[in-house]
Structure 1
Amino acid sequence: MKPHHKKPHSQASHQVRIIGGQWKRTPLSVITAEGLRPTPDRVRETVFNWINHLFDSEWQSRRCLDLFAGSGALGFEAASRGASEVLLVEAFTPAFRQIEEVKAKLKASSVQIQRGDALLVAANLTKNKKKFDLIFLDPPFNQGFLEKILPICIDLLSENGIVYVEAEQALPFVLEGQATDVIPAWCQGWELLRKDKAGNVHFQILQRNKEVGNLDENLG
């Protein structure tokens, strides 16, 4: 399987930290590699405040999936807050091994790790009718991953599940009142719940529309 990240220029590392929960303030080492962008601490703090509100602070029964795990920071953050099951998917071997080390260090029994191509793993999970309450999508930028994987996520979500997306630009359906026929097919079927921007990174939380194709009503 072709890795999503290019070969690292060096094996140097830096750190991010877990924001909340049982492992709060625990530092996580992150390898330095081209295309690997761990979500900054302050962005994760904002995002998990959003998610905590949407979940009414109830994490115990939540099943989470991170299809481009990278550092694993998003998934370990969810596990730290009490998520019952977290599946981290990563194709790049050095990053995968780093996640394994963090899991062992934290004794994170709720976290499972799978090495593989995100698109293939997502398709297989769909085939096996797996459902998740929270899906993280933070793919390498400018490689067209969101166009391919976001439609698959519709079938991976539980009834009231949500998707967190990081992207290099605002997704095209975020404009309120935008007609369905001008929205790309891969963006249809979604409702925007939250959005913000930090530097050049756009981040947003989406939920599947109750009625696919009736985007104006759901955004109104």
Structure 2
Amino acid sequence: MTRIIAGAAGSLTLAVPRSGTRPTSDRVREAIFSALAARDAIEGAAVLDLYAGSGALGLEAASRGAAEVVLVERAKGAADVCRRNADAVGRALRGRPARVRVVPRAVASYLESAAGTFDLVLIDPPYELGERALAHDLALLAPLLSPDAVVVVERSSRSPEPDWPEGIVADRRRDHGETTLWWAARTQPELPSQPA
């Protein structure tokens, strides 16, 4: 069973696609969102959930005060589940709903044409996604990050560290059993040195 852990929609049960997804455990989601709350990275944020599956990560952010959430999921069945879950969370939020949009497209295709910037990006690709494909996604994502953006990548503990592109720098690694969370941030451009 997958549920919203905390916030305005806390304890709401979410539907899960019948196959093809690997939902993030409640324990790992709690670790992610406790750390994000400590960084004050959720309230009012524009959130991007890539490889959304059931939408649990992005919808957890919506429950906890994100202003806007985009769920990107290519598989039709999973995208339909995302829509149902987004509707349920929207009803639970009542007077202060986040804007939640489900995009039924491949991640790279979405990132190539996306506009605007994101403050928080949650990436939980299938463990079998190759490192080269993940690196390509991260390179496409870099220009879409706001100056103080936080990026969280969930991978198998047996996977190597992602190949971070120019514009994104690893912040820390946290292991949770078979799951590793890679935390990253946008690198700030260096200011030109001033003449003396």
TM-score by length of 2: 0.84
Q: Determine the structure 2 residue equivalent to 1:63.
A: 46
3-state SS, counterpart of residue 151 of structure 1: helix
CA distance in 1, matches of 2:110, 2:145: 15
Shift of the 99–38 alpha-carbon distance from structure 1 to 2, 3 Å rule, reads same
Give 1:41's aligned amino acid.
D
Report deviation, 1:170: 4.1
Q: Determine the structure 2 residue equivalent to 1:39.
A: 24
Q: Determine the structure 2 residue equivalent to 1:192.
A: 170
Which residue, 63, 76, 82 being the options, matches 1:93?
76
CA distance in 1, matches of 2:146, 2:51: 20
Report deviation, 1:189: 4.0
Give 2:80's aligned amino acid.
R
Q: Note the alpha carbon deviations across 1:20-73, whole angstroms, 9 max, x for none.
A: 110111111212313x111110101011111111126x602x100112110100
Alignment of 1:73-84 (within 5 A): 73-84=56-67
- Unmatched 5+ residue regions in structure 2? 91-96, 191-196
Which residue, 116, 119, 139 being the options, matches 1:151?
139
Q: Determine the structure 2 residue equivalent to 1:120.
A: 109
3-state SS, counterpart of residue 158 of structure 1: strand
Give 2:150's aligned amino acid.
I
Q: Determine the structure 2 residue equivalent to 1:171.
A: 161
- Unmatched 5+ residue regions in structure 1? 1-14, 173-183, 213-220
Alignment coverage as a number of residue pairs: 180
Which residue, 168, 176, 182 being the options, matches 1:204?
182
3-state SS, counterpart of residue 32 of structure 1: coil
3-state SS, counterpart of residue 159 of structure 1: strand
CA distance in 1, matches of 2:89, 2:181: 27
Q: Bigger CA drift: 104-113 or 76-85?
A: 104-113
Q: Note the alpha carbon deviations across 1:68-96, whole angstroms, 9 max, x for none.
A: 11010001000001111001111111111
Alpha carbon RMSD of aligned pairs, Å? 1.9
Report deviation, 1:188: 4.7
Which residue, 36, 41, 47 being the options, matches 1:51?
36
Give 1:134's aligned amino acid.
L
Alignment of 1:7-46 (within 5 A): 15-34=1-20, 36-46=21-31
3-state SS, counterpart of residue 16 of structure 2: strand
Identity of aligned residues (%): 33
